[in-house]
A = this chain, B = another copy of it.
């Protein structure tokens, strides 16, 4: 984990590419792009996963790698309140990978696609030194308009779906070695952490509900709460205050912290790959949104802070002390 260094290079490249062009409603820089297709707005996004960076063949099963790859891209569509529809998969394969592994990988992709009613319609195979996957998803924007990163307004509440830190906790558990994993797997909390790490599920329905509830901005927590919320705030030209005691910690982080030396709050704030959604809502819209998510999906929605004028993040501790909060999380070029 490191800072937002990736964002600077991305910003440079964005300026190179972001020509205003016919049919482009939203170019690079948000969770996904928005383009006109006839009288519809389509959502376009791609995510790359690389062996040794995003997953290890020694610890992740082929099926889980495929499952997670599709969910990671679907999550970008969810973060706009959209509906994922079609999927393309580009796959680089080393010679050492066996046919059965490739078939399992595709089984996992198909499983994830099926759960989100996404059709995998094409792809490309190439030889590569290590396994590399690029998953493209196209989707439909919600009828009321896509929820961008850039609409947050001072006074809005900051809300987050589900709980945070489990995916990063699962990684820490894996790093503790096979014995710790085996012991933890015997308990429910261990399974929860590994499930969060290997088989995350994008919050598609929740994103659509938050869009209908009037979310002013939204992003998925792919790289870490503080880094992703910082990106949302930067895009909106605002700041935010996060009340640390309200950040919903994944329940399994408690038992994990008794086995491995981890700070549950640090994992929840700086750990990536939770694929929960962070949104901003007008204060009056939070209660109805929370009720809707609980009733329809059994998903908790937690108010963790407020949008403020200015820039950057501050954390608010229980005694009301405010401190600058550094945007920490997964840097893809770190």
Contacts and interface: CB of A to CB of B under 8 A. Distances in A.
Interface in A18-32: 19, 21-24, 26-28, 32
Contact of A44 (B27, B38, B54, B138): B138
A177 interface: no
A39 interface: yes
A121 B44 contact: yes
A327 to B, nearest CB: 17
A47 B9 contact: no
B40 A86 contact: no
A123 interface: yes
A122 B48 CA distance: 12
B38 A122 contact: no
A54 B128 CA distance: 10
Interface stretch (A100-108, A269-277, A293-301): A100-108
Contacts of A39: 38
A109 B19 CA distance: 12
Interface string A96-122: 000100110011011000100101111
Contact of A128 (B12, B27, B44, B50): B50
Nearest to A136: B136
Interface stretch (A87-95, A185-193, A206-214, A235-243): A87-95
A119 B21 contact: yes
Query: What's the interface size class on A, roughly?
Result: 35 or more
A17 B50 CA distance: 22
A13 B92 contact: no
Q: How many copies does the complex hold?
A: 2
A47 B13 contact: no
B102 A9 contact: yes
A332 interface: yes
A126 interface: yes
Interface of A: 6, 9-10, 12-13, 16-17, 19, 21-24, 26-28, 32-33, 35, 37-40, 42, 44-50, 52-54, 85-86, 88-93, 99, 102-103, 106-107, 109-110, 114, 117, 119-130, 132, 134, 136, 138, 140, 332-334
21 contacts: A19-B110, A19-B114, A21-B117, A22-B119, A23-B119, A24-B121, A27-B119, A28-B122, A28-B123, A37-B140, A42-B138, A46-B122, A47-B90, A50-B92, A50-B127, A52-B129, A53-B128, A54-B126, A127-B334, A134-B136, A138-B138
Given A27-B120, A27-B121, 13 more contacts: A10-B125, A12-B103, A16-B107, A16-B110, A17-B110, A17-B120, A19-B120, A24-B86, A24-B119, A27-B122, A42-B138, A129-B130, A138-B138
